[in-house]
Structure 1
Amino acid sequence: MKGLFFACLVSAALLCHTQISAQKKVLDHTVYDSWQSIGETSISNNGAWIVYAVNVQEGDNELVIRSADGTYKKTIARGYNATITEDNKFLVFRIKPLYAQLREARIKKKKPEDTPKDTLAIIELGKDSIWKKEKTKGFKIPEKSANWLAYHLEKDTKAAAPKGKPVNKTADSLMHVIDSLQQVIAAQTAAKGKKKSKKDDETIEELYALIDAEGDEPGGSNAETGSTLVLRNLATGKQQEFKNVVKYYFDKNGTRLLLEQSKAPGDSLSKAAVVLVSLQQAKADTILLGGNEFKNFEFSEDGTQLAFIAERDAAPKALTKTYKLWYYTAGQDSARVLVDNTTAGLPAKFTVSPFANISFSKSGKKLYFDTAPIPTPKDTTLVDIDLVKLDVWHYNEDYLQTTQLSRVNRTREEDFQAVYDLATNSFIQLTSKEIPNAYLTNEGDGENVLAVTDFGRRVESQWTGNTKKDVYWVNVQTGAKTLVLKNMNGQLSPAYISPSGKYFIWYNYDTKSYHVSDGKATRNISQGYTYPLWDEENDTPSDPPAYGFMGWDEKEAFVYVYDKYGIVKLFIAAGKKPEVFLTGRPQKVVYRYIRTDREERFIQPTQELLVRYFNDVNKDAGLFIYKAVNDKYSLSPVIAPAAISLGMPYKAKNNAVYAVTEETYQQSPNVFAVAQAGGNNYTAKQLSNTNPQQSGYNWGTAELYKWKTFSGKTSTGILYKPEDFDSTKKYPLILYFYETLSNGLNSYIPPAPTPSRLNISFFVSRGYLVFAPDIYYTKGYPAKSAYDYIVSAAKDLSKHKWVDGKNLGIQGQSWGGIQVAQLVTMTDIFKAAWSGAPVANMTSAYGGIRWESGMNRQFQYEKTQSRIGATLWEKPQLYIENSPLFHLPKVKTPIVIMANDADGAVPWYQGIELFTGLRRLGKQAWMLNYNGEAHNLVERKNRKDIQIREQQFFDWLLKGAKPARWITEGVPAVEKGKSWGLELVD
């Protein structure tokens, strides 16, 4: 018996030990920094190589090189900015210094030149040896050539001239003259027993002035000394150096290298220059010598032509500078001026814009650039202390003063498009202040550009959020403007123009249809289609947007657009009704085309289309090829639909191989190589394995949960449960919400210090349930709608024995934060509430400013997210009903408010109104103001801080944990920067 009893004790002990050892750790605030994510990803043109970064939240990343078949792997610590060469042979990348070194440099406030620098690295794919070059600051490879690499070295600070001493030969000579003259004068005056005369001093001062004058030559951007650029032949390893390079560019095909060189330090006779290097002939030609500023270099498609902006004549402190458009083509000795202030056709008092966007047409026959009014020089006679600081707000200005001030730099840089016809040597101004925006057609070779303007109708954007527009064809040869559409209310973008430029389409908000125009006649081309081409679930007072535009048919006979579940063909010519091209409507599956060729201009009839599959019911995702077989289209799976979420796939240019990330809530994103295995079959190979440490932590699960709202509607949300969930236990529940979130069922949520959203994985790991409900709104009643969905969900979940209905919390940020503030005035079922950046008072917020953009907030209430749908004067009762401030006496729930003083979306005084009202009423309320922070926290240190406080708050109220001192006592201003109040109190 004793032996049996002892054996039982041993067995029990072993079982107990097994259970204890099987228990996993819960996530805490120390795990964030090392948690991994997939960063930059690329695939070679032949599909044989996939390169990706494994990034940590704070620390040193890794660059990983994998063969697509998984047989080769090379990991480079701190590698980034990787480029695979066109011929699939080499990988060129940069290596960062250690994070600890960079952090130390920031702590010590080292100068930029004294901080650790990047290293350039090259590896031949499939091999292990790495060529490295330290102290580099960037590299470039031609877009469509594999032979060449140019890399830029950091400046040699040791070779820099000491401060306060002359840096050129002339100055050195003059200094010697001064020294000699001073000695001669000193000797003479000593011999004569006299002092230096005023004339002697003037002579010396004149010589010093010469040195100053020498150093005051026109500087511009070239006042910054360049550094050495190295041109390397990747095939042979041979290198060539170029000194004093400021900027450099390859043409697309890798036939030429352009260099902007500064004056050589210490050489007063040298000049800034633009140099063109022929890579085939290994020959460098100076195409422009001398000047202050060069910018916006652009090659033609074939690389034989070059254009740029230069300013060459202004004195260093000139109040006005004029720029010229320079042009070079093969066969010229040097660049020549194409456009300057005297060019015929240039508007009066205009110049070439220093901010010009330069582009050649595809054929190279036309050159597009921008012009701008010559700026008014600053009046230097005005004394700053006498200037009145004043903003004058005028009722009929296009934009509010706040908007103007937020856009002041953009306004200073405003310019207007022009074109130079290189065949006829003619200049045409295309746009103006009245018609400021233009879209090129036929890759710049079209007869017209499509110009769009809302000039004279911008005031109404204050309350509508958008403007009506006029649309013109502008002839590229003559500049003649033809009005095509008047007061267009809809969506129009460059993609809506046909490849040849003959047609354009737009989505009309008024008719909820697509229309087409050839500049002479317009026609509704979606009329008669059975289903909406606009957002079927739009629940704001605004016009519902279209689902989107896919592309043009190669022959311009039709366009492809989206409805909710698929792709529709709309025919350009009259007489044909819209046709379904691909749909998943019966199964409620959404199909969307994924463009893998960035140069694609149209859809070809025989083209294989990669389409994304998303099941709107169970949230499964997949990838398919949709292609024509015997004039019939069929779907074949690349990645079969599954309970996963997919990242953007990258396709090899020349083979059916894809690099794509897959993830679930339980599995962090990993890179897969997906390759065609024969016929329509594809195989997937997992290449990465991120966050293996997760297996040691109590994670969680995510599932769809459906319930009926108080109004009888069925809705869906995501219920997150701890990995060790036990249905016999009770768990506190936090509801987190922001409009609709259920499509994110299979998205991975890393434990991370968030900008102010709920850190879901963190709370789930620590024994909380989290529920994210979808919310749909009735216009005019956002608070009641939120109550209908959120409170009904909380009560429905509380029916389960495993939900602790007495310990419910709510958390929301921005629009979600507003609704948290609303809900605590409407119910007392929540024991804790956290509201980030809420609006408390819609009546004062209605006329307020979004300080980041300077826009007035009226459009939000009348047309968009706030969903009132009327002005404050039309329906004041709705503004009051949906404003928590007016209902604060009903609040019983303790609430934390985050309101930051640099919030550019919600004025932080809204948080103050909420807090001071609650304080006046003796309610439990706290407000966190992260100084200088935005609407969503930016600085990582602040994000970490709020995660700690949020945990402490919910643990105190929902789990009965000890409160922190900031909760019980606050943090007095005198303690700011000394104590943060995070310590727990008894």
Structure 2
Amino acid sequence: MHFETLQQPVISDDGKVIAVQATPDRGDSRALIRFSDNNKQYEIANGTDVNVSADGKFVLATIEASLFERETDKKADLPHEVVLLNTQNGKQQKFENVDSALFSDNGHFLVVKFNVSKPESTDAKSELSESMAVESIASESKVSEFISSESIAAKKMAKSEDETHAEIEEADKGADIRLINLATNQHSQLSYVTQFAFDKTGKHFVAVVNQGENQLHQVVLVTLDDQKQRQLYGSSDEHIEALAISDDGQYVAVTKGAASSTRYGREHDMLLIDVEQNKQQQFAQSEGWTYNQYSSLQFSKDGQRLYVGRVPKVAQQAELADYQNANDVFNPEIITAKKQLRIWHGDDAKIKPQEVKEYEQELKRTYLAVLHLDSNKLVQLADKIVPDVTYGEQARFLLASSDVPYQKMITWAGFYRDVYLVDVNNGSKIPVLTQQPSDAMPTLSPSAKFLAYYQQGNVFLLDIASQRRVNLTASITTPFADEDHDYPSAAPGYGFGPWLADDSAITVYDKYDVWQFSTISNQGFMLTNGEGRKQKTQFRLVGLVKDELLPAVVSDAETVLLQGYSHLSKADGFFSAQIGIAVVKRLTESNSKLTLLARANKASTVVFSKQRYDLYPDLYIAANTSPQNAQQVTQLDKQRKPFKWGNAELVHWRDGDGVNMDGVLIKPTNYQAGKQYPTLVYFYRFMSDRLHAFPDMKLNHRPNFAWYADNGYAIFLPDIRFEIGYPGISSVKALTAGVQKLIAMGVTDPDAVGIQGHSWGGYQSAYAVTQTNIFKAVVTGAPVSNMTSAYSGIRHGSGLARQFQYETGQSRMGESLFKAPQRYIENSPIFYVDRIQTPMMIMFGDKDDAVPWEQGVELYLAMRRAGKDVVFLQYEDEPHHLKKYPNKFDYTIKMKQYFDHYLKGEQAPNWLRQGEAYQEYKKVD
């Protein structure tokens, strides 16, 4: 329970300050602060969601309530606190009742937003907040349309008592914010703030003030160096919604609508404010398009364009009829209007559960448009036909896509999209790809001159200006399709690396190597010089500075960091290469797993973890050019000392078809050669890449490997390779041959082999015991037991039908149920229950959002009818993976007790011997 994991490491722009959250499986987190240039260490008790100012001088952490408080208090009653740590002197400053906090981009300022005041707040406090906000604005001489405190008072006197106390919708209510100069600790405050933002220069702060009770709505600009406030816009009757400020602070944009309207029905206009010239321009609703509460605003980095989400105009829905008199209760129209009915039509693009699940998402959907600031031309980019435009910083073209033509066939065929280039200048769309797999979206070059994409085993380049397409890999014999793809669908590619910043080349991955293709000559070469395939090492570029709005880029001749994963040793290493040259150089030797976690924005410093089965993944920092000189900055491996850990090794064997297979064997603590041990098999698909992975020290859906090893078990994690149409038997061939290998090695007691799997692994484990008696106990979590009924089931988490999983996806049947019914039967455990000789424990959450939990009921009832040894654990109100800690704890204990009984001969607990009557359960409840 108390074992801590490190989460969400963040690093200052100069790479000198690192903050990370250490979180136990159950308990209270803490924030750890470390330094690259000295041995100082700080800790913030109960700290979560850490953030570091750009200059590294301050760290911000949310203070989580203690575990006891979280378990015993209502969520609304829990404290909401943040702590600001000064990394220069270690001093901490606490802010209470906080909703959120944000550093300015240069790290010199902090804004703290407090939770909205409760209704019982005194009138005096409200008056004070009003006065504070207005007087501070009134002191600025350049205010053009400022609303004075006298005008507010007059309006308050004129309003009726009902109006004065009119209920303001919760989302429209503003809150107090505090703006802090971190260098001087000078504080200033604004009240009734609903939105705020810094510009990128760190010179300006802008806030939206919506004081609904007193009809004061304004946009306030704060000059940060002197804290002066200036009203950019004010209104008595228009609520201000979205807000954005350009990077240089020259422009501010907002959306606004009638404050008297309900939030849901409120239509908005857009207002653009030129801060320097003190000019305003309004962009009203256009024919067919308007703005609403979900419209977002985003300036381009160059300050030339403003992107905004708009929505089509729709007629307001008529209010539902209600009974107004005694005769209305017999009115057929009113009675019919009160029906509760969902009609499923065969021509529906989406099935009803999917529509229901996506209702809120669709309600909030907006369609991207762009305002060109030089011409004030507003161009609609997305629409209902092509609804998805990927926002980026490219000035001329953006990527757009649509799944509209394929929404019906998603049910059985998987996910596809048509891809377009949309012209930012006029909104016209250039078709690029038809029915492209959704997981194979193209990549657009930084200047939008080229588009690269993968299709049917090859990589293509589109010159956008000439519309010329070139197959870059047509003459290359090296495969670019996934060589391990075993699904009944087209094999995907391995993806793209970064573009060169000047659009002159792009990097592309095959299974092992990195290629560089020129966009000018269309010729390519292996940047890694073929060493990847020679050494069976997969190279990938890592440690790049990331920009969410542009593709990753490198410069010509730049030295780049590569991570290399050996398919032979299952270990990682760091390597270097130089863009434009076919040479790769090893930097580190590593018998471990390496994970690069962060890169400083303005320095070469990277943060990575290093782990093995017997080495905790502590954090290291280094220059991306010399990871071999890394400095360890956390020391959590000491948590392992109370445990007897065991060790992991790689095992090789051949499956029933003679295919070479790999797996991981974790030997028990104090392993003695020649002694046979009870062995637990856990699996899913490929598992051998976990050879050097530190085990999850938390309770979840799988056995805790270290705990089982410490209790005398060997653990086996075998790879599985599937044959399309025969997933069940493919799995059995790999499993049985792997277990026989362990028996032949003298490690495994042939009379004490257990198997556990969850979800897809749960299906395989349930199927395996219908085909072999090699396993003496099985625990199967959330298994599909009957493919014939699961085929047309619903994934309740997404509302999608499950048919695509069988025809093109993980279940690998490759045909519909009615085209290959016998194949579905042959791969369903339910039809072979009479063969099962292995005791089985089934686990399901009865709100499973991926596999219908009735699949567990079917399997249980079939085994019960056949007189088999079965027990079924139904965890109430739980999804596909258990979320409630008492349930995870209970399942962990029961799984261990189950295997201990059947594999080690320990006495069965009462629940296993006799179950539990519902009456007993209700007594506990």
What is the TM-score of this pair, normalised by structure 2? 0.90
Structure 2 residue corresponding to 1:585, chosen from 533, 536, 552: 533
User: Deviation at 1:224?
Assistant: 2.6
CA contact (8 A) 2:113 2:175 kept: no
Which residue of the partner structure matches residue 748 of structure 1?
Answer: 694
**C-alpha separation in 1, matches of 2:577 and 2:526:** 16
Which residue of the partner structure matches residue 299 of structure 1?
Answer: 245
Which residue of the partner structure matches residue 186 of structure 1?
Answer: none
Q: Counterpart of 2:12 in structure 1: which amino acid?
A: S
Which residue of the partner structure matches residue 109 of structure 2?
Answer: 148
Q: Counterpart of 1:152 in structure 2: which amino acid?
A: K
CA contact (8 A) 1:278 1:284 kept: yes
User: Deviation at 1:277?
Assistant: 0.9
Change (3 A) 1:92 1:65: closer
**C-alpha separation in 2, matches of 1:80 and 1:160:** 29
Structure 1 residue corresponding to 2:781, chosen from 828, 836, 840: 836
User: Deviation at 1:979?
Assistant: 4.4
Which residue of the partner structure matches residue 285 of structure 1?
Answer: 230
CA contact (8 A) 1:35 1:691 kept: no
Which residue of the partner structure matches residue 173 of structure 2?
Answer: 224
What are the residue-to-residue correspondences of 1:585-734 with 2, within 5 Å? Answer: 585-599=533-547, 601-627=552-578, 632=581, 634-638=583-587, 640-675=588-623, 682-734=628-680
Worse overlay, 91-100 or 562-571: 91-100
**C-alpha separation in 1, matches of 2:500 and 2:174:** 51
Q: Deviations over 1:798-824 (max 9, x none)?
A: 223342111111100001100111111
CA contact (8 A) 2:528 2:584 kept: no
User: Deviation at 1:45?
Assistant: 3.1
What are the residue-to-residue correspondences of 1:186-585 with 2, within 5 Å? Answer: 210-216=160-166, 219-221=168-170, 223-227=172-176, 229-263=177-211, 269=214, 271-289=216-234, 290-291=236-237, 293-316=239-262, 320-333=265-278, 335-338=280-283, 340-341=284-285, 343=286, 346-347=287-288, 350-383=289-322, 387-440=338-391, 443-446=393-396, 448-469=397-418, 471-488=419-436, 492-493=440-441, 496-509=443-456, 512-518=458-464, 520-573=467-520, 576=523, 579-583=526-530, 584-585=532-533
User: Deviation at 1:935?
Assistant: 0.9
Q: Which has the higher contact order (CA 8 A, sep 6+)?
A: 1
What are the residue-to-residue correspondences of 1:131-146 with 2, within 5 Å? Answer: 131-143=93-105, 145-146=106-107
- SS of the aligned residue for 1:898 comes to strand
Which residue of the partner structure matches residue 786 of structure 1?
Answer: 731
Which residue of the partner structure matches residue 35 of structure 1?
Answer: 3
Worse overlay, 70-79 or 824-833: 70-79
Q: Deviations over 1:30-64 (max 9, x none)?
A: xx2x1011123233333333333322222222222
**1:51 partnered with 2:19:** yes
What are the residue-to-residue correspondences of 1:799-948 with 2, within 5 Å? Answer: 799-948=744-893
- SS of the aligned residue for 1:824 comes to helix
Which residue of the partner structure matches residue 42 of structure 2?
Answer: 74
User: Deviation at 1:944?
Assistant: 0.9
Change (3 A) 1:487 1:860: closer
Structure 1 residue corresponding to 2:72, chosen from 90, 107, 115: 107
- SS of the aligned residue for 2:780 comes to strand
CA contact (8 A) 2:559 2:578 kept: yes
User: Deviation at 1:467?
Assistant: 2.4
CA contact (8 A) 1:658 1:673 kept: yes
Q: Deviations over 1:171-216 (max 9, x none)?
A: xxxxxxxxxxxxxxxxxxxxxxxxxxxxxxxxxxxx9994223322
**C-alpha separation in 2, matches of 1:617 and 1:926:** 41
Which residue of the partner structure matches residue 134 of structure 2?
Answer: none
User: Deviation at 1:358?
Assistant: 2.1
- SS of the aligned residue for 1:257 comes to strand
**C-alpha separation in 1, matches of 2:405 and 2:623:** 55
**C-alpha separation in 1, matches of 2:585 and 2:525:** 25
**C-alpha separation in 2, matches of 1:936 and 1:456:** 33
**C-alpha separation in 1, matches of 2:90 and 2:363:** 52
**C-alpha separation in 2, matches of 1:100 and 1:852:** 28
Which residue of the partner structure matches residue 94 of structure 1?
Answer: 61
CA contact (8 A) 1:310 1:324 kept: yes
- SS of the aligned residue for 1:370 comes to strand
Change (3 A) 1:415 1:61: closer
**C-alpha separation in 2, matches of 1:517 and 1:605:** 20
**Aligned-pair identity (%):** 27
Change (3 A) 1:487 1:826: closer
- SS of the aligned residue for 1:828 comes to coil
CA contact (8 A) 2:515 2:524 kept: no
CA contact (8 A) 1:532 1:563 kept: yes
Q: Counterpart of 2:699 in structure 1: which amino acid?
A: P
Q: Which runs of 5+ in 2 are unaligned?
A: 129-156, 323-333
Instruction: Flag the structure with larger Rg.
Output: 1
CA contact (8 A) 1:361 1:444 kept: no
Q: Deviations over 1:709-751 (max 9, x none)?
A: 2221221100011221122432111111100111111111133
Q: Deviations over 1:743-793 (max 9, x none)?
A: 111111133211x12222221111111101001011111111111000111
**C-alpha separation in 2, matches of 1:561 and 1:625:** 17
User: Deviation at 1:688?
Assistant: 1.8
- SS of the aligned residue for 1:38 comes to strand
Q: Deviations over 1:814-846 (max 9, x none)?
A: 011001111111011211001111111111111
CA contact (8 A) 1:490 1:506 kept: no
CA contact (8 A) 2:673 2:747 kept: yes
Q: Deviations over 1:865-885 (max 9, x none)?
A: 111111212221111100111
**C-alpha separation in 2, matches of 1:370 and 1:878:** 48
Q: What is the aligned-residue RMSD (CA, Å)? A: 2.8
**C-alpha separation in 1, matches of 2:37 and 2:503:** 41
**C-alpha separation in 1, matches of 2:422 and 2:13:** 40
Change (3 A) 1:778 1:296: same
**C-alpha separation in 2, matches of 1:148 and 1:921:** 70
**C-alpha separation in 1, matches of 2:44 and 2:87:** 13
Which residue of the partner structure matches residue 30 of structure 2?
Answer: 62
Which residue of the partner structure matches residue 153 of structure 2?
Answer: none
**C-alpha separation in 2, matches of 1:492 and 1:866:** 21
What are the residue-to-residue correspondences of 1:110-125 with 2, within 5 Å? Answer: 112=76, 114-125=77-88
User: Deviation at 1:889?
Assistant: 0.7
Change (3 A) 1:637 1:50: farther
- SS of the aligned residue for 1:674 comes to strand
Change (3 A) 1:944 1:70: farther
User: Deviation at 1:220?
Assistant: 4.2
Q: Which runs of 5+ in 1 are unaligned?
A: 1-31, 170-206, 981-986
Q: Deviations over 1:625-666 (max 9, x none)?
A: 3236xx74544455x131111222433444443322211111
